[in-house]
A and B are shown apart, each in its own frame.
Chain A
Amino acid sequence: MSMAALRRLLLLAYTGVVFAFIFAPIVSTIVFSFNADRFPSLPWGGFSLQWYEAIFADATIQRGLINSLIVAGVTCVIATFLGFSAAYVDYRYRFLGKSVYLALAALPPTVPVVILGVALLTFEGRVGLSGTLPGIIVGHVVLSTPFAMALVRMRLADLDPDIERAAWNLGASPWATMFGVIVPFCAPAILAAIFLTAAVSFDEFMIAWFVSGVNETLPVRVLAMLQGQVSPRINAIGAIVFGVSITLIVLAQMLLGRMSGRAARKKG
């Protein structure tokens, strides 16, 4: 074997190790959720669905799952609308203070969620939102809007601004142009943004932990279970949670992949 081939092999092996470190926790959660043994260790104790049966019989977990689905369902719609609006404003307008406007829309993910959680808790305690599902939704929208904005803005970068101007010159109102040209063009990005923001909300645990009170979401329930002893039920919940969020992310990425693929073909 030549030196170059050996070097390449070593690099590939190292990359494999890095990916193993990243994905081992995900894979093992799913594998051990089907393990009959109480403690997740080797050797494998046989196939079993008992942990799934246990969590589906648990009322607190059911309520957590329902709360999470409600929160994610509402969050993804509001966040995608706000993210689309902010991206369109960035694409279409120039105005004084635009950089402040964009920073306001984009900054929340850079603030640690523990701080957002405390800030929202103290604020929402004053306005009567804390301990409610809308209280969680409000925080999740703040956190996930920038992701929606980024996806739509990427898409709009491929739209020639002259097309909109041509529509106006031909007498179309801005509203007609918006729903006849802009929204259809952005449809894949909007759909991807809905999936991605739903995933962000479905997995968010820190804001929800501070704000939720008795209305726990599923990740908050998981956090509470982590404080107890080792329980294979966490693996079963984890496998379900991974299933949901990985599905959402894969759908979002497939939409984006189709989008960029078509753009590349058009340019080429």
Chain B
Amino acid sequence: MSEPLPTPDTGTAPFTATSRRATAARFAMFWGAPPALWQAAFFLVPLGFLVAMTFWSVKSFRLTPDATLANWTFILNAGFFRNAYVYTFWLSALTAVIASVAAFPAAYTLAYKVSPATRRFMIFMLVVPFFTSYPVRIYSTQIFFSPQGIINTVLAPLGLGPLQVLNTPTGTVVGYLVLTLPLVVLLQTFALANVPRTLIEAAHNLGCGRFRTIGTVIIPSARIGLIVAGTFAFVLAFGDYVAPTYLGGSRPPTLSILIADQVKSGNNWPRASVVAVMMIVTLMVVMLVMIGLAYGRRKERP
């Protein structure tokens, strides 16, 4: 992008107000339009297409534009969909709770018990896994829990195990935690570090015990961040395909597995689209409820 820099279009004439305004408008369009056009063309339109496709039909293996509700009635009445929906929702919610509870002491430590330099380094470390090949990490976790894997090798001499984690819902949740825990610790650490220290010190000076300070001062003050962290865990787990497939053994299937199966082998794209739209609607409702929970009740307080 090496545009000729100064004096845009007027040659030798001095900057007139109109040419200046025209330049400014062209400048604004140059920077403003591409992101909007790109995300509209390759994000909004495909999603709109997905919604439209839920009303299409498959006639003799060919996708045909249509205005039928058959896909909706089929999926919403199908036992396998309802079971998968409840199962996915429940495991994702469970993951959000476990991740939030498990992360809290670690976030508390990072926020209050280590030096700023250590905290910066730990935050730096926590960002890494989020951008680091998730399927390989799940593969590695699979090896850990396999019958001849490290965990069972260590447990056997102690007279424990063998642990049956693979191909169970527990395996799926372990995988969800591999995915979500770094992010939850990170967001909770930010939330806790932003609680004013003076507030905590005031509580201590007034004789408030450690756990009471956490319960009545720190958690309420950091509530927005804590809820956001849990919501992210839910959203990530709800849409994940890898953990339920490779650690949960696909049985029972989650919604993402239903979608992948319908598209990859069943070739019924309209039905897969219905499942996808149901997932988006669910996530939107969950996010709205959580935002309400995070910000809403706060206003009632004086």
Interface set of A (CB-CB < 8 Å, partner B): 8, 11-12, 14-15, 18-19, 21-26, 28-29, 32, 39-42, 78, 81-83, 85-86, 88-89, 93, 101, 104-105, 107-108, 110-116, 118-124, 126, 138-139, 141-142, 145, 149, 171-176, 178-180, 196, 199-200, 203, 205-206, 210, 219, 222-223, 226, 230, 234-235, 237-238, 241-242, 245-246, 248-250, 253, 257
Contact = CB atoms under 8 A, between A and B. Distances in A.
Given A22-B126, A93-B32, A174-B24, 9 more contacts: A25-B136, A41-B149, A42-B150, A108-B39, A112-B239, A115-B50, A120-B42, A175-B23, A238-B133
Nearest to B277: A115
B220 interface: no
A40 B141 CA distance: 11
B133 A175 contact: no
Interface in B198-231: none
Interface in B243-302: 246, 256, 259-260, 263, 269, 272-273, 276, 279-280, 283, 287
20 contacts: A8-B113, A18-B102, A18-B106, A24-B144, A41-B149, A83-B35, A89-B31, A101-B32, A112-B239, A112-B256, A123-B49, A141-B38, A145-B39, A175-B6, A180-B5, A222-B133, A226-B138, A246-B132, A249-B131, A257-B124
Interface stretch (B66-74, B75-83, B177-185): B177-185
Given A118-B263, A175-B8, A226-B246, A237 B136 contact: yes
Contacts of A8: 113
B32 A89 contact: yes
9 smallest A-B Cβ distances: which pairs? A112-B239, A238-B136, A25-B140, A123-B46, A119-B46, A86-B35, A25-B137, A119-B50, A174-B27
A25 B128 CA distance: 13
B139 A118 contact: no
Given A139-B42, A222-B136, A11 B109 contact: yes
Interface residues of B, number: 87
